Structure 1
Amino acid sequence: MNDQSTSRYQNPQLVDQSLADEDVELLDSEEETGPRLKPVFVRKKDRVTVMEREREAVKQKQAELEAKKMAEERRKYTIKMVEDEIRKETTVKEGDEPSLNDVNTDDENDEVEYEAWKLRELKRIKRDREEREQVERERLETERLRNMTEEERRQELRNNPRQVTNKAMKGKYKFLQKYYHRGAFFMDRDDDMYKRDFSAATLEDHFDKTILPKVMQVKNFGRSGRTKYTHLVDQDTTQFDSPWISETAQNLKFHNNQAAGMKQVFDKPTVNKNRNK
């Protein structure tokens, strides 16, 4: 016994194996000493899990039946709506189709109807004749103006000034005031509405913007689409790096020979003397 214990302590693997065997024996002994329950038979109808499963199956089956019933009712309702719509369209078409019974002229006076038709026909003929005469007058006027000289046209315009309808009022714009165009449609019809002052200030234009700081005296200040300058009167926009500004031989030739206002219009005195002779 002593030799066996001595060899066990000398070998660590044997020590671990013996400790594991002792733990297993202790667990087995504890399980054997603990209380054990008596197995009791439970009938199928008394089992809780089975009853819950059956109840869930019944609920699911009822839900499926209700869904089928609702789908069937919805299908019947849709069919009924389609039938009613077709019936209405058929009734409207039958009502729109003219029949001989709808034409009843027994209560009408033929003489009165004939006089009314004759009046309408005379008005139509008169309107057509006036339109043709207006087109002919415009054609003759255009032809007459084309055959006139420039001096005769100016004299004609002075004698017969053009009549301007809906002449706009010339108002005074404030500093940085927004401009609104009054439009170009329907200006041939004289109306007081088109003669209003469209240069009046609106919204933020009522304020005096001259008292603002210099950096804020621009349109749409603080926005991405703001203007860079207030106006170009005090700004030098000359591009000195432009090819048109550089003094090259080609640019000088172009300015001297073809540019406006650069040609020599004065003659030498000797040339004028020769012409006078």
Structure 2
Amino acid sequence: WVETLMAGGAQVAITGSPGSTQDDTAAYMVSQMGVEVFSWRSENYEEHMENAKRVLDAHPTIIADNGGDLHFLLAEDGDCKALSTSIIGATEETTTGANRLREELPAFDFPTVIINDTMAKRIVENRYGVGISVVDGIMRSTNIMLGGKSVVVIGYGYCGQGIAQRLRGLGAHVTVVDSAPMAQLEAHLEGFKTELLEGALPDADVVMTVTGRHHAVRKHHFELMKDGVLLCNAGQNQFEMNIESLYEEADKVRPIRPNV
């Protein structure tokens, strides 16, 4: 879509998400396409937000957001608020960003189209694309075989459905947790075990959040988990688990594998 925008005469500034940027692709965009790229693969969340500010410094007319970060800066960051005056419209790609726009952020003076509301996005990307890529990413990054493992999937929207289905296909014993009764019922009718979060955690080998909301897993939840449990966040941003509280309680933190 960057090529399409530029073919139409647009000037493009772009950033990515932590861990997802391909450095060779970013370099190609800068050197061969003339795109302003503010991102690199090893950036952390704080660096990502600084890069998002640099995108807004380009005074965009249209923003294509992912996770609601650009909208958040326009609403909450003093240096960025004035930059919204040039914007005539926006898009938001993700479930997380849609939740933030509807539940946390104020109304803006420009319209935002929520791409995640389309059934094509929910089925093709969320259920199947996310479902497959998240499970593949877990196995590649941890070198753990998921067959036979007890996995708790927190959140049974389209992304959670796809992840739960892929895990079951690999032989994992999947328990679904969702605060919405109808989502719990749907998971039950699909043959998944369902449980309240506090009841599901003690036996879990893997705990995965895919809710699109802040702190679905909180400090007191970690105390219910057994030693050696694997924690995974499949949502857009890192805040679905209160990881800060883990760091506060930890005697030491050591990398086991890259990104683990």
- Fold agreement, TM-score > 0.5: no
Q: TM-score range by the shorter chain?
A: under 0.3
Q: Which has the higher contact order (CA 8 A, sep 6+)?
A: 2
Larger Rg: 1
TM-score (norm 2): 0.15
TM-score (norm 1): 0.14
Structure with greater strand percent: 2
Structure with greater helix percent: 1
